[in-house]
Structure 1
């Protein structure tokens, strides 16, 4: 069973390490590791029987271990005492400003790193430009005592991918760096890549348990597909295959009584529009004339639950925990703005907790149960059918008027706007803790059972 221990440094120059008194197999330890650095040492039980790790300062220096008073996890494998884990959080967009080194995202990363003591890990933020391949060191950004500090540390035990967008992710130097770290240094990499909406649906369709949650979804191929889906469902959504934040989403409706087509969308000035057309061709020519339709998907419209005539959908965050198990970390309701095609906050949407949305406790608990069961099942199926190691997913789910759950999107790097709601602060903290806790699980696996990760 893994356990956290305080780590202390003493002035001594004999490659000495005192191990916690409750480690019964300490006599076999002759090496110590931090990140990817390994040092030969002489180990002895703590002379006063304390359950702490004590390093002589020469060992600390050789390991390039920062002197940050915190408790860390210990793993023992092949006569080596591993202290950590050291979790590298990869991103981009660094600035020269010490107070905001990652620009407007500095506060998010500060909050993420600030849970390190409760989790028992040592996380830092870095970019491709901070790596010294020759020395095997990274000049990482640590958040210490309310401020940012740059410290050189070894290559990490694991990398948590927080690249901000697809464009950055496609850069050749980042792809090369990722490949080198994974191949040459066998560093596990979690949450790589952004999901494509269509790819997610195609992967999920391979498992019959997921099919009941999937609205009919196709890559745009012809007006005929839209006509057929409008005939079946009355309305469809046309949206970018790789979009985010609700941008570029259009709802097309067909009124069988008067034969008109309607399109609801948000224009470039941010105004919600509802326009009427005599034919689908005219609608497409007028509304989509600047868009590459081959990059769009068409999705079945659903008759969703409403609050005061406004559409409701739900954001559910799932995370893997320190045991590698999926957990539901947060659920929030999102209510569409007046005349908006989506429930996104930047389109006038409002976030509510479930107890604010449902006055009836039984109704709330049933909704929570349905959303949790769907999210956990879809998480486990996606994990098996997508490449890479997935540690968190943000689901956009809907419940129709008959109580059936539908999946609209799954995001590998979910936005965090729901956590601005005061009643969701605890969920914000939980998702941050779980993001790092899963890194502990992966680090231990990479040390003790690498064949489970590098298959």
Structure 2
């Protein structure tokens, strides 16, 4: 993506009025802006008519302190720029907004909890690419306004009134917050009023994903048999077909509430359930007795029942893979990373929150119990499957996604299976971060925002 960046400086309001800007002749020539003309300056939802005064032998844009205060611009920074002669509009940015669940003003070092360092990293990535970013919570949307109270970082966090962003990334971690009337109304309004792009706009539930992807014959090979759990009849049928089955909360995350049911040699059934301390094991003489024990859980929570899979193992611990699939600077899906996750001791799920550990695909597959032939094809087939699944989600689920966490697994013959698709991939601080280095996943997010904004 080609991009022209302009260094922006603020000057005292006494020198420049809000409706006048000084622009270097080199930038004016590059952008084809006529001298001493009146144009519209656009930054997010902000529109300001300004008269342009050319400055010889310069490429910078100088604006008044008053105008800078309405945009959140620092004294010196560079912004992406494009000029449309048809509408006489100079667009700067893009301006990116990130909708987060909560803030903690009394704890500035952990202002956004576990994702605070990610927010700092995203700020740095935006500066490097000529973009601006701010972070806001659903509470900022309670008051109807054309501006938003958002947090920006510049040698410390500060809150200020900012324009509505060109692009908004939904990082809400609560369905309740996402479904708030104020949130849904705001999103509908800014889309129609300002043309704001909003991605990862909704949570996915497991049944929705599997039913959607089942419409595509090419994706069916990745789908274990799955059904919305409706009662004893479907449990009996699935247990008669497979040595083990899983019951998963349709809206669960982090491995919470997952149940594994398997037949025992003596004719009874074993139930494994996830707890904070490890795996709880129970035995039942019949499937009827087991169902009576778990039925109360099903009354308050919707579950999906899924075929159990004999997963690839490392040291008798099951392994699965998390692929981060993101849209890039041309709006196309690409695989940013795939990591292997090995279940912790005394656990049957691989989530890091349950004691799981990370390794590279090559390392995990190399040490696994897969056949030599299967090991060779995995490195190519895993990203191919992740991409196909991401495209399927986009095709069959009517929502805008810019990144997806796709959990896939290999069975012991090397066949690839889909376990889950997450529309809010983790950005927690347990991911390796480095103040000097910006991760590819964060750079990719900014590139996609630039693509959406056309800057």
What's the TM-score bracket when you normalise by the shorter of the two chains? 0.7 to 0.9
How big is the shift at 1:121?
0.9
Does structure 1 retain, via aligned residues, the 8 Å contact 2:99–2:169?
yes
C-alpha distance in structure 2 between counterparts of 1:126 and 1:193, whole Å: 17
Does structure 1 retain, via aligned residues, the 8 Å contact 2:255–2:349?
yes
C-alpha distance in structure 1 between counterparts of 2:438 and 2:72, whole Å: 29
The 1:98/1:290 distance shift into structure 2, 3 A limit, reads closer
Give 2:440's match in structure 1, choosing from 414, 419, 430: 430
Matched, 1:36 2:45: yes
Corresponding residue of 2:318: 311
Corresponding residue of 2:270: 262
Matched, 1:125 2:130: no
C-alpha distance in structure 2 between counterparts of 1:211 and 1:135, whole Å: 47
Please give the per-residue CA displacement for 1:256-290, whole angstroms capped at 9, x wherever unaligned. Answer: x53221111124x5331222211111112124434
Matched, 1:402 2:404: no
The 1:128/1:343 distance shift into structure 2, 3 A limit, reads closer
1:241-320 matches, cutoff 5 A: 241-255=250-264, 257-267=265-275, 270-292=277-299, 295-320=302-327
Does structure 2 retain, via aligned residues, the 8 Å contact 1:253–1:263?
yes
1:181-196 matches, cutoff 5 A: 181-196=190-205
- Secondary structure of the equivalent of 1:124? strand
- Bigger drift between 34-43 and 95-104 goes to 95-104
Corresponding residue of 1:415: 426
C-alpha distance in structure 2 between counterparts of 1:420 and 1:152, whole Å: 31
How big is the shift at 1:181?
2.1
- Bigger drift between 125-134 and 204-213 goes to 125-134
- Secondary structure of the equivalent of 1:178? helix
- Secondary structure of the equivalent of 2:76? coil
C-alpha distance in structure 1 between counterparts of 2:242 and 2:413, whole Å: 15
Corresponding residue of 2:383: 372
Give 1:90's match in structure 2, choosing from 79, 87, 99: 99
Corresponding residue of 2:171: 162
Corresponding residue of 2:5: 4
**TM-score, normalised relative to structure 2:** 0.88
How big is the shift at 1:82?
0.2
C-alpha distance in structure 1 between counterparts of 2:299 and 2:437, whole Å: 38
**TM-score, normalised relative to structure 1:** 0.88
How big is the shift at 1:101?
3.0
Give 2:16's match in structure 1, choosing from 6, 13, 17: 13
How big is the shift at 1:117?
1.8
Does structure 2 retain, via aligned residues, the 8 Å contact 1:216–1:300?
yes
C-alpha distance in structure 1 between counterparts of 2:107 and 2:435, whole Å: 27
User: What's the C-alpha RMSD, in Å, of the aligned pairs?
Assistant: 2.9
Q: Which runs of 5 or more residues in structure 1 are unaligned?
A: 446-455
Give 2:403's match in structure 1, choosing from 392, 399, 407: 392
How big is the shift at 1:60?
3.1
- Bigger drift between 217-226 and 57-66 goes to 57-66
Matched, 1:113 2:116: no
The 1:132/1:348 distance shift into structure 2, 3 A limit, reads closer
- Bigger drift between 200-209 and 21-30 goes to 21-30
How big is the shift at 1:172?
2.1
Please give the per-residue CA displacement for 1:282-336, whole angstroms capped at 9, x wherever unaligned. Answer: 1121244344277111001111111111101000101111221112111110111
Matched, 1:60 2:67: yes
How big is the shift at 1:148?
0.8
The 1:135/1:279 distance shift into structure 2, 3 A limit, reads closer
- Secondary structure of the equivalent of 2:262? strand
Matched, 1:210 2:232: no
C-alpha distance in structure 2 between counterparts of 1:430 and 1:401, whole Å: 31
How big is the shift at 1:426?
11
- Secondary structure of the equivalent of 2:209? helix
How big is the shift at 1:220?
0.7
Does structure 2 retain, via aligned residues, the 8 Å contact 1:91–1:126?
yes
C-alpha distance in structure 2 between counterparts of 1:220 and 1:194, whole Å: 20
C-alpha distance in structure 1 between counterparts of 2:365 and 2:261, whole Å: 30
Corresponding residue of 1:138: 148
- Bigger drift between 429-438 and 106-115 goes to 106-115
C-alpha distance in structure 1 between counterparts of 2:429 and 2:226, whole Å: 26
The 1:315/1:426 distance shift into structure 2, 3 A limit, reads farther
C-alpha distance in structure 2 between counterparts of 1:303 and 1:29, whole Å: 68
C-alpha distance in structure 2 between counterparts of 1:223 and 1:172, whole Å: 37
- Bigger drift between 369-378 and 27-36 goes to 27-36
Does structure 2 retain, via aligned residues, the 8 Å contact 1:31–1:80?
yes
How big is the shift at 1:149?
1.7
C-alpha distance in structure 2 between counterparts of 1:167 and 1:135, whole Å: 23
Does structure 1 retain, via aligned residues, the 8 Å contact 2:9–2:75?
no
Q: Which runs of 5 or more residues in structure 2 are unaligned?
A: none
Please give the per-residue CA displacement for 1:200-229, whole angstroms capped at 9, x wherever unaligned. Answer: 111111222211111111001232322222
Matched, 1:348 2:355: yes
